[in-house]
């Protein structure tokens, strides 16, 4: 990661102007709007990619061109005009004249509540900071520790250069280009993302997150992440940023692919807090994400997500339980407030024998928002003794929001054991009054009730993340009960 600092990027951009002759009105770091094969080629060239990658992208583009945007999800929004989007924007440069005084005070207040340091705040706001040297050296130290164990952890663009054999072998194997509209789009135009490889028998000694938190904040619209855990390895990966990113990007279409080989385990945790739009439902990010993991024999993939942001979320982190005895888990908290809409859940595809999956989904709706759980549990005919347990709980605040549950169960093997539990509850005035009577004000009471409701999932997050996620839940729901 450290190789690709903003400074270097800036330098690169300064020297590479005019190199791409297909546009006339030149801005050094943004492509013209619209999408065609030339743009796809240009992205690939900008990234200095080998021929096979360019072709892969072009193939994805052709597939995408034939597809239609899906509309089965329980969300309503104006479809983006894909020709009105610019598909390459370099990460924002630090403006030397900008200081924290220029930043929206409301945002700073939120940072303060989240306990984000001044330097991180500056970084998030694209303000130049003077301790870059320090954080780069920290990053390098990490990188050395990881390298000693043979772990590769770098931007995917770097992996395409340095480890083409791995990328070529695995990219698109879990989420193929043809998978869905947004996955095809991502495959054609992805500009950033991470690559992670854990060699056989290696237990990654740290959560791949700590220094990432800052760097990830500026990543683009189309992220591509590929995590490969080789046989008997273990990795815990954290993505996202608890700080609210007021990105101007309207559309985020990321693809995440996880591969857990025999006896390997991947824990993937996400805290998503994209700009949800204002209290009147204006603006906000569309988050259309495809996340899927492939489990080989005796392996385990565990997804944990806390979703509080975005105007529209469309996301189903899934597990393909291909190997016998493999285990898939999905723990989710999705919060919607104001006019937010979320349609999220998971797919557990049981192919191997004795495969097991657990789904715990907690939806919290406030304001005028709509929150849907959509989950598929599929047991293939050869999946003897497959087991699934699903629990979907919804918590409503106020009378104007909605909670919906769409469970799909397809069992083609008689030995399957599938359990589904669902509850819907409302934060009652009686609960609030009870807390008030004990000296706890209404805001704090809601936070307490919501945290209690979400506890099973919060407990699955790594410690430091859990604390931040808890604060984030409180902030997301502030003022939601009048």
Partner 1 sequence: MLHIKNLHAGIEEKGILKGINLEVKAGEVHAIMGPNGSGKSTLSSVIAGKEEYEVTEGEIFLNGENIEELGPEERAHEGVFLSFQYPVEIPGVSVTNFVKTAINETRKAKGLEEMPASEMLKKIREKAELLEIDRRFLSRSLNEGFSGGEKKRNEIFQMAMLEPKLAILDETDSGLDIDALRIVANGVNKLRSEDNAVIVITHYQRLLDYIVPDYVHVLHNGKIVKSGTKELALELEEKGYDWIKQEATI
Shortest CB 429 distance to partner 1, Å = 7
Residue for token digits 């928002």?
369
CB 298 within 8 A of CB 325: yes
- Contact between 430 and partner 1 by CB under 8 A: the answer reads yes
Are 1 and 193 in contact by the 8 Å Cβ rule? The answer is no
Distance from C-alpha of 71 to C-alpha of 68, rounded to nearest angstrom: 9
* Binding mask of the shown chain, residues 370 to 409, with x at each position contacting partner 1 by CB under 8 A: ----------------------------------------
Q: Judged by CB, which is closer to partner 1: 48, or 459?
A: 459
Q: Which is nearer to partner 1, 34 or 479 (CB)?
A: 479
Q: Of these, 2, 391, 424, 431, which contacts partner 1 (CB under 8 A)? A: 431
What is the rounded distance in angstroms from the CA atom of residue 63 to the CA atom of residue 65? 5
CB of 480 to partner 1, least distance (A): 18
Spatial neighbors of 179 by CB under 8 A, at least 6 apart, are 290
Q: Which C-beta is closer to partner 1: that of 42 or that of 449?
A: 449
64-97 core/surface letters (b: 16 or more CB in 10 A; e: else): beeeeeeeebbbeeeeeebeebebbbbbebbeee
Structure tokens at 229: 């855990």
Instruction: Evaluate whether 385 touches 414 at the Cβ level (below 8 Å).
Output: no
Expressed in percent and rounded to 5, the helix, strand and coil fractions of the chain are 30, 30, 40
Q: Quote the least distance from Cβ 421 to partner 1, whole Å.
A: 14
Residue 82 has which token pair? 């894909």
Nearer to partner 1, 104 or 441 (CB): 441
| 6's tokens | 């903003």
Q: Which is nearer to partner 1, 349 or 446 (CB)?
A: 446
CA gap 274, 311 in Å, rounded = 8
Binding flags for partner 1, 36-55, as an x/- string (CB under 8 A): --------------------
Burial class from Cβ neighbours inside 10 Å (0-12, 13-18, 19+) for residue 62 reads middle
Inter-residue contact 372 to 344 (CB < 8 Å): yes
- If one asks whether residue 76 binds partner 1 (CB under 8 A), the answer comes out as no
Residue from the set 38, 84, 434, 464 that interacts with partner 1 by CB under 8 A: 434
**Distance in Å, CB of 473 to partner 1, minimum:** 12
Q: In a 3-state reduction of DSSP, which class is residue 386?
A: coil
Interaction between residue 478 and partner 1 (CB under 8 A): no
Residues 181 and 288: their CA atoms lie apart, in Å, by 10
Q: Of 18, 438, 463, 482, which one interacts with partner 1 (CB under 8 A)?
A: 438
Of 1-9, 121-129, 371-379, 430-438, the window that binds partner 1 (rule: CB under 8 A) is 430-438
Minimum CB separation from partner 1 for residue 454, in Å?
Answer: 7
Specify the stretch interacting with partner 1 by CB under 8 A; choose among 19-27, 163-171, 278-286, 428-436. 428-436
Q: Draw the binding track, 445-464, toward partner 1 (x: CB under 8 A; -: no contact).
A: ---xx-xxxxxx--------
Task: Establish if 79 lies at the interface with partner 1 (CB under 8 A).
Answer: no
By CB under 8 A, tell whether 426 contacts partner 1.
Answer: no
Interface with partner 1, residue 16, by CB under 8 A: no
Using an 8 Å Cβ cutoff, are 65 and 86 in contact? no
Taking alpha carbons only, the member of 342, 275, 12 closest to residue 124 is 275
Between helices 442-458 and 463-476, what is the axis angle to 10°?
Answer: 140
Q: Does 428 bind partner 1 (CB under 8 A)?
A: yes
User: What's the closest the beta carbon of residue 337 comes to partner 1, in angstroms?
Assistant: 20
**Can you tell me which of 129, 440, 467, 481 binds partner 1, judged by CB under 8 A?**
440
Applying CB under 8 A, the residues found at the interface with partner 1 are 428-431, 433-442, 444, 448-449, 451-456
């Amino acid at each position: 990661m450290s190789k690709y600092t903003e400074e270097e990027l800036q330098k690169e951009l300064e020297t590479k102007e005019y190199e791409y002759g297909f546009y006339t009105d030149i801005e050094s770091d943004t492509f013209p709007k619209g999408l065609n094969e030339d743009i796809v080629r240009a992205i690939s060239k900008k990234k200095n990619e080998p021929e096979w990658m360019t072709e892969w992208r072009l193939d994805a583009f052709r597939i995408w061109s034939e597809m239609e945007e899906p509309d089965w999800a329980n969300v309503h929004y104006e479809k983006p005009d894909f020709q009105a989007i610019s598909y390459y924007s370099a990460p924002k440069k630090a403006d030397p004249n900008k200081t924290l005084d220029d930043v929206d005070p409301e945002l700073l207040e939120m940072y303060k509540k989240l306990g984000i340091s001044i330097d991180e705040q500056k970084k998030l706001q694209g303000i130049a900071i003077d301790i870059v040297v320090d954080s780069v050296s920290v990053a390098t130290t990490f990188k050395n520790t990881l390298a000693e164990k043979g772990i590769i952890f770098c931007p995917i663009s770097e992996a395409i250069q340095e480890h083409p054999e791995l990328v070529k072998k695995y990219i698109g194997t879990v989420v193929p280009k043809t998978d869905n509209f947004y996955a095809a789009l991502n495959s054609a135009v992805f500009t950033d993302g991470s690559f992670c490889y854990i060699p056989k028998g290696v237990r990654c000694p740290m959560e791949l997150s700590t220094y990432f938190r800052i760097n990830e904040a500026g990543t683009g619209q189309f992220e591509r992440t590929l995590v490969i855990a080789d046989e008997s390895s273990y990795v815990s990966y954290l993505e996202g940023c608890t700080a609210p990113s007021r990105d101007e990007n309207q559309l985020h279409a990321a693809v995440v692919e996880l591969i857990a080989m025999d006896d390997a385990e991947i824990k993937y945790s996400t805290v998503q807090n994209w700009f949800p739009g204002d209290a009147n439902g204006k603006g906000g990010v569309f988050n259309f994400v495809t996340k899927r993991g492939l489990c080989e024999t005796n392996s385990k993939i565990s997804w944990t997500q806390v979703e509080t942001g975005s105007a529209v979320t469309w996301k189903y982190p899934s597990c393909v339980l291909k190997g016998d005895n493999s285990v898939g888990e999905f723990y989710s908290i999705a919060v919607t407030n104001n006019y937010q809409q979320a349609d999220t859940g998971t797919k557990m595809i049981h192919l191997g024998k004795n495969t097991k999956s657990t789904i715990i989904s907690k939806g919290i709706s406030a304001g005028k928002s709509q929150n849907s759980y959509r989950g598929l549990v599929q047991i293939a005919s050869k999946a003897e003794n497959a087991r699934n347990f699903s629990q979907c709980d919804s918590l409503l605040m106020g009378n104007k929001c909605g909670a919906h549950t769409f469970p799909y169960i397809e069992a083609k093997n008689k030995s399957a054991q599938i359990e589904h539990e669902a509850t819907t509850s409302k934060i009652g005035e009686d609960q609030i009054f009870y807390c008030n009577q004990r000296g706890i004000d209404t805001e704090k009471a809601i936070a307490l009730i919501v945290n209690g409701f979400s506890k099973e999932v919060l407990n699955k997050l790594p410690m430091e993340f859990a604390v931040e996620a808890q604060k984030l839940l409180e902030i997301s729901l502030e003022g939601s009960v009048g």
